[in-house]
Structure 1
Amino acid sequence: MEKVEHTVLEHEKNERIDKVITSLDSDWSRTQVQQWIKEGLVLVNEKIIKTNYKCNIEDHIEISIPDPEALDVIPEEMDLDIYFEDSDVIVVNKPKGMVVHPAAGHVTGTLVNGLMAHCKDLSGINGVLRPGIVHRIDKDTSGLLMVAKNDKAHEHLVNQLVEKTVTRKYKALVHGNIGHDYGTIDAPIGRDPKDRQSMTVVENGKHAVTHFQVLERFKDYTFVECRLETGRTHQIRVHMKYIGFPLVGDPKYGPRKTLEINGQALHAAILGFTHPRTEEYLEFEAPLPKEYEELLEKLRKN
């Protein structure tokens, strides 16, 4: 059973305990958290509380997360776009609109469902619902992901992410015209206190760094390559909005008036890492999806 601890911050004062806890992890639902509270798995200042408890500043919350129930992920035959595979690692190009792993509301049709049909040997570090998943990209972001086929490979790849030695470059189309060719955004990211379903730049957020380079300029838009130094939730989407150039088509962080594209114009184009067994550096590049390329062509013609 995993334990998670949290000290209540000033902006969380007078919030319900279940709301505060749900905001700590995007994978936790309010219903799930309320059940943990009812089962006595949540302590505040070492005492059992009720779901309607209102938090005070400096309250110490301790959550005992129960081990996941034995739940089989249903293997589903899919036409996966695999760029590399051996006995340790799979590199797959995820299409736009596909969720990476099963969660509430997405039990089937995920990348993990397809991977389970493709091969049975995926690492078990992330439990039954996220086998082999080392890192994630959003549902409407396309591009390359590395998947571990055993626990040793999984730990090796995660360590590379922690040590910031993995190459992760994304292609993004943003609103506005960026005047300089290169830039670095170093701004901490955390939950938006006004909208707990969104992330934003906040003083007490987690360290987050994005480097960007302009690839092409249009009248009202800029095509950029973003290199992740850290990997926070929605990092590129939040950082580009923060500097005034939100992603085209982004329903959460972008303007309503945007170009016709289904979801944010963001593609995980380049992925590089050291192979966990051979220690060889591998790098892969996936071309832009057809819809994305056609959008750029329209802008070039205009």
Structure 2
Amino acid sequence: MVEPMQLTIKEGGKRLDASLAEAGLQESRSTLAAWIKNGHVLVNDRPVKSSYKAKAGDNVTIRVPETKATTIEAENIPLDIVYEDDDLLVVNKPQGMVVHPAAGHASKTLVNALLYHAPLSSINGEFRPGIVHRIDRDTSGLLMVAKNDQAHRALADELKAHKTERYYYALVKGNFAEDDGTVDAPIARHPKDRKKQAVVSGGREALTHFEVLERFSGYTLLKLALETGRTHQIRVHMQYIGHPVVGDPTYGHQQKIAGISLKGQLLHAKTLVLTQPKTGEKMTFDSPLPKIFEEVLSSLRALESK
């Protein structure tokens, strides 16, 4: 049986699930909200409603429900494993692969493939075992995956403290006068389209740093660094500053460039820098751009040379 967790709310005024998420718990806010609803969270020894707003000094007891055996099917799907030890995996996810099962994607996800390959941490529950962070289905590149709960907590803490370094390459529409810069604009769910995110006043803080790597006629290759990890952050920020990612069907760019048809955005999680949870060693991983990304760049370079 899992021992109950105890903590005291330091600053009140927010919904309890939000306060718990900000207190450093590794579970998602939706998981915490479900626990509150199902009576697994007590405030001053009493259950509360999901809408309860925390007060400074509230004593919170969390009775973590027993983890059920996963019903996700392990599938023998090839993986591009960049690194593996007893605690973690670093995988290079292809464009088009969903990270974990969800509505409409019950199989053939990265998690299905990972479960076939190795044991995974249980912290994120049944449908996201081992997943410390995600990238979009049509974004390719590096992901770290935890093989046990201790490693998961360490990697998640490092990510939350902005100590994990994540560098992306993106081809975007338009040209930049500057060589580098930062987009500092809050992100929240789109007020009119629930499937999208947007820059919204009062949204969650979001910082994206960019550096120009190569310029073409009407396009720019960028290296981007995430300081925060909001849903669709790079895609939303690039659209916000008028430079949508090439091939992005959601945030506004065509699906064909230089005569090449695209199946998603040209956005690749290229470099990942993390700390090995047990040894404390700083580790850097890099991945090549996908074939179609390189083909587009080669075509643009050929056009520039004419």
**TM-score, shorter chain, exceeding 0.5:** yes
Are the structure 2 counterparts of residues 210 and 132 from structure 1 closer, same or farther at C-alpha, using a change threshold of 3 Å? same
Count of residue correspondences = 256
Residues 248 and 255 in structure 2, CA contact (< 8 A), matched pair in contact too: no
| 1:106 aligned partner | 105
> 1:122, 1:45 → 2: CA distance?
33
Which amino acid in 2 is paired with 1:155? R
| 2:128 aligned partner | 130
Are the structure 2 counterparts of residues 176 and 153 from structure 1 closer, same or farther at C-alpha, using a change threshold of 3 Å? same
**Is residue 121 of structure 2 the alignment partner of residue 84 of structure 1?**
no
Other structure's SS at 1:195 match: coil
| 1:278 aligned partner | 279
> 2:201, 2:212 → 1: CA distance?
28
Other structure's SS at 2:196 match: strand
> 1:45, 1:86 → 2: CA distance?
42
| 1:246 aligned partner | 244
| 1:261 aligned partner | 262
| 2:296 aligned partner | 295
> 1:228, 1:68 → 2: CA distance?
32
Residues 16 and 50 in structure 2, CA contact (< 8 A), matched pair in contact too: no
Which amino acid in 1 is paired with 2:301? R
**Could you give the per-residue CA deviations for residues 199-239 of structure 1, whole angstroms, max 9, x where no partner exists?**
01111100100000001000010000000000000000001
Other structure's SS at 2:294 match: helix
Other structure's SS at 2:145 match: strand
How far residue 255 of structure 1 moved from its aligned partner, in angstroms, is: 3.0
Residues 213 and 223 in structure 2, CA contact (< 8 A), matched pair in contact too: yes
Which amino acid in 2 is paired with 1:158? A
> 1:44, 1:111 → 2: CA distance?
32
Are the structure 2 counterparts of residues 126 and 141 from structure 1 closer, same or farther at C-alpha, using a change threshold of 3 Å? same
Which amino acid in 2 is paired with 1:209? L
Matches within 5 A, 1:148-159: 148-159=146-157
Matches within 5 A, 1:182-221: 182-221=180-219
| 1:18 aligned partner | none
Other structure's SS at 1:78 match: coil
How far residue 135 of structure 1 moved from its aligned partner, in angstroms, is: 0.2
How far residue 293 of structure 1 moved from its aligned partner, in angstroms, is: 0.4
| 2:55 aligned partner | none
Matches within 5 A, 1:22-101: 71-101=70-100
Which amino acid in 2 is paired with 1:208? A
| 2:5 aligned partner | none
| 2:169 aligned partner | 171
| 2:62 aligned partner | none
How far residue 68 of structure 1 moved from its aligned partner, in angstroms, is: 8.1
Other structure's SS at 1:197 match: coil
**Could you give the per-residue CA deviations for residues 21-65 of structure 1, whole angstroms, max 9, x where no partner exists?**
xxx97x9xxxxx9xx9xxxxx96867xxxxxxxxxxxxxxxxxxx
> 2:50, 2:88 → 1: CA distance?
42
> 1:213, 1:70 → 2: CA distance?
45
| 2:222 aligned partner | 224
Please provide the CA RMSD for this pair. 2.7
Which amino acid in 2 is paired with 1:145? L
> 1:89, 1:98 → 2: CA distance?
20
TM-score using structure 2 length:
0.77
How far residue 79 of structure 1 moved from its aligned partner, in angstroms, is: 1.5
How far residue 195 of structure 1 moved from its aligned partner, in angstroms, is: 1.3
> For structure 1, which runs of at least 5 residues remain unmatched after alignment?
7-23, 28-32, 37-41, 47-65
